[in-house]
Amino acid sequence: MGDKKDVWQGTLALMVLKTLQALGPLHGYGIARRIEQTSGDLLAVNYGTLYPALLKLEQEGYISSEWGTSDTNRKAKYYKLTRAGRKQLEKEAREWEQTTEILARFLAPGKESA
């Protein structure tokens, strides 16, 4: 499918946290594939964006990592959600829900709530 969109700015961290919450520890390739699958293959995850995002999430304490062996018997870094990451996920999810509600008001004129 040549029509894939890049991940929207500001959403990658939320998608990574949600993916780790749903599936448990995963390596970077697994996270990227899952995000793409969940989007119905409409999104493309750029590894030049993913790995810096994983590093930033780890530095912020929202995920942790450890080395392990992948299904293909290769050394891989596995990431998992921390307690702080679960709290951050809840916060970011609430913020995105609010944002989409606000945008919906602009996209559906005449349906504004009082």
Q: What is the pLDDT of residues 33-57, one digit of tens each?
A: 999 999 999 999 988 999 999 999 9
What is the Cα–Cα distance from 93 to 19, expressed in whole angstroms?
13
pLDDT computed for residue 98 by the predictor: 94
pLDDT computed for residue 38 by the predictor: 95
pLDDT computed for residue 109 by the predictor: 73
pLDDT computed for residue 1 by the predictor: 43
pLDDT computed for residue 112 by the predictor: 55
Q: Is the pLDDT of residue 5 over 80?
A: no
Domains along the chain with CATH numbers: 5-107 (1.10.10.10)
Query: Looking at per-residue confidence, does 1 or 30 come out higher?
Result: 30
What is the Cα–Cα distance from 16 to 32, expressed in whole angstroms?
8
Q: Which residues contact 113 (CB under 8 A, 6 or more apart)?
A: 105
Residue pLDDT, tens place only, 51-107: 999 999 999 999 999 999 988 999 999 999 999 999 999 999 999 999 999 999 999
Query: Looking at per-residue confidence, does 30 or 2 come out higher?
Result: 30
Nearest in space to 65 (alpha carbons), one of 9, 106, 27, 19: 27
Q: Are 63 and 16 in contact (CB under 8 A)?
A: yes
